[in-house]
Structure 1
Amino acid sequence: MAQLADQGLLDLGTEKLEYRMIGPRPDAAPTIVMLHEGLGSVGMWNNFPDKVAAATGCGVFVYSRAGYGQSSPATLPRKPDYMHDEANKTLPRLLDAIGFQRGVLLGHSDGASIAAIYAGSHQDHRVSGLILMAPHFIVEDVSVTSIAEAREAYNNGDLRARLAKYHADVDNAFRGWNDVWLDHDFRQWDISEELAYIRVPILIIQGEDDQYGTVKQIEIAQEECYCPVDVALLPGVKHSPHREGLEATLKLVAEFTGRVLRGPGEAATAA
């Protein structure tokens, strides 16, 4: 397999996905694969991946899902099981394509849900742990309310202009996320069953003031998971711990990855 360039488009046949790679490649060191939020992309992570690489000594691979960033557009409208499609169809091919051998999945919001679905549906020995920032396991009223407010901000405020800086087709990105979350059928979406099949340690990082989800999400994980579940509830933080509680989040990520990736005679240390 050809060595991964620092950035580019990963050709999976049915789609081309924008990516960025920081630090050692997957064949040389453990890799943290980062899965973005429902409106995210490679660019919207800003320099957080670089900080994660520096704090952990791991390679960090970030990519934009179809419909986001500079990746191929998504087919709309999305169906309520779109996160299952990402976890069960795209993510396995992506991990194989980059030569992933060992590491951690780190997801934010939708990305955290996708990581949980993957780990609960695939007994992948390469995945040593999950870091789930502001995950969704069920749809709550607060989620729907905030997502409806986002639609208003997109249609009548400056949200579209701000997102257009990061997405080649901003309407495809926004509608692909917003429309399905506000679809009546999506209210039944529930991935708590998948949590029972996860066999690796989990770290959940959530803001106390998360406007898209309550501590109910944490309680579901604690009730359903048989694997170890560490929880960090960050005061003064809303839906984006890596932006609003950066230092605390980096410390948690470094400690967790150091623990789950440490093998015989080996430690994950800061670069």
Structure 2
Amino acid sequence: MTGARVEPDVRVAGRRIEALELPGDPDRRPLVLLHEGLGSVGLWRGFPQALHEATGRRVLAFSRFGHGRSQPPPQPRTPAFFHTEALDVLPDVLAQLDAPEPIIVGHSDGASIALIHAGRHPVTGIALLAPHVIVEDVTVREIEAARERYASGDLRERMARHHDDVDAAFWGWCDVWLDPAFRDWSLEADAERVACPTLLIQGVGDPYGTLDQLDRIEARVRGAGGDVFRVHVPGGHSPHLEAAAETLAALRAFTEPLV
């Protein structure tokens, strides 16, 4: 059962959240997409539709506060941002979208949020694309470079096409990652709480993180009966765009048995 694109009315703390729904098989758990640090519903580009066609499942996506067409966050972000999104905002959004125990597909910051959520809430599975569980030197260097491009290059102009409040989107991401208090951030303890099927995907040329991120998750996530799968694909930080065929094939194989 499929249908046309729907834009559900979602509000958290009285603020509007941009959301997308692609209706699919009502008897199978939905796929919920959590975007990267500078992402939004629109910046998933054609991936939600491709994932919907590959799996036949209902696909849901939303833009976090300050991203895309969502309203700004109610207060400035702090290093507690990931846990707030995973444990306060995401459960509220899932309830409004009628999406219990979903399969969460998270990219970058969204993957970190998915990991935290899965350790404390029932999910059918998680697929983590370019996830972060520690702050690496390469990550900091790349974000510092992005800050320079935003201040003096064309990054702000390009981002402004996709975000109503481009400064909220960029600085809310950049300032958290470059906060000195964030340098010792780790989700390894959160990973140890996860006991659902888990798929890890990373581009071998990812400038924002090394394969050590996957090593640390794989060593700690228990999965369901040890079901932790790992896939390396060509390209950089956006496997769903840079290695779309390989990423979709891995997601299709991972989700097929998850009823």
Interval of TM-score (by shorter of Structure 1 and Structure 2): over 0.9
Distance 1:28 1:18, change over 3 A: farther
Separation in structure 1 between the aligned mates of residue 255 and residue 102 of structure 2, nearest angstrom:
8
Aligned mates of 2:154, 2:21 — CA distance in 1: 31
Among all aligned residue pairs of Structure 1 and Structure 2, give the percentage whose two residues are the same amino acid: 42
Question: Aligned partners of 2:5, 2:228: CA distance in 1, in Å?
Answer: 35
2:214 maps to 1:218: yes
Cα distance in structure 2, aligned partners of 1:9 and 1:176 = 24
* Partner Cα distance (1:15, 1:83) in 2: 19
Q: Which residue pairs with 1:255 in the alignment?
A: 253
Larger deviation: 190-199 or 97-106?
97-106
Kindly tell me: are residues 102 and 84 of structure 1, through their superposed partners in 2, closer, same or farther at Cα, counting changes over 3 Å? closer
Name whichever of 27-36 and 143-152 sits farther off. 27-36
1:152 aligns with 2:145: no
The aligned residue for residue 269 of structure 1 is: none
Shift of 1:229: 1.5
- How many Å separate the matches in 1 of 2:5 and 2:250? 29
> What is the CA–CA distance in structure 1 between the aligned matches of 2:194 and 2:237, rounded to whole Å?
24
Alignment counterpart, residue 196 of structure 2, candidates 186, 200, 210: 200
> What code does the residue aligned with 1:181 have?
W
8 Å Cα contact 2:10/2:18 also seen in 1: yes
Indicate if the aligned counterparts of 1:197 and 1:225 stay in contact, CA closer than 8 A.
yes
1:34-113 equivalences under 5 Å are 34-75=33-74, 77-113=76-112
Report the Cα distance in structure 1 between the residues aligned to 2:109 and 2:62, rounded to whole angstroms: 14
Classify the secondary structure of the residue corresponding to 1:49. helix
What displacement does 1:28 show?
5.3
Aligned residues: 253
1:186 and 2:185 aligned: no
SS at match of 1:121: coil
The CA RMSD over aligned residues, in Å, is 1.6
What secondary structure, in the 3-state scheme, does the structure 2 residue paired with 1:96 have?
Answer: helix
Gaps of 5+ in 2: none
> What is the distance in 1 between the residues matched to 2:197 and 2:59?
19
2:113 corresponding residue in structure 1: 114
3-state DSSP class of the match of 2:128? strand
Given that residues 31 and 60 in structure 1 are in contact (C-alpha distance below 8 angstroms), is that contact kept between their aligned partners in structure 2?
yes
Give me the whole-angstrom Cα distance separating, in 1, the residues matched to 2:174 and 2:63: 17
Look up the equivalent residue of 1:74 and give its one-letter code. Answer: P
Structure 1 pair 174–240 and aligned structure 2 pair: CA distance change class (3 A) = same
Displacement of 1:59 after TM fit? Answer: 0.6
**CA distance in structure 1 between the aligned counterparts of 2:42 and 2:5, rounded to whole angstroms:** 17
Write the letter of the residue equivalent to 1:137.
Answer: V
Check if 1:166 corresponds to 2:162: yes
Question: What is the TM-score normalised by the length of structure 2?
Answer: 0.94
Give the equivalent residue in structure 2 for 1:266: none
Residue 77 of structure 1: how far off its partner (Å): 3.4
Report SS of the residue matched to 1:260: coil
Stretches of structure 1 lacking an aligned partner (at least 5 in a row): 262-271
How far apart, in 2, do the equivalents of 1:103 and 1:161 lie?
A: 35
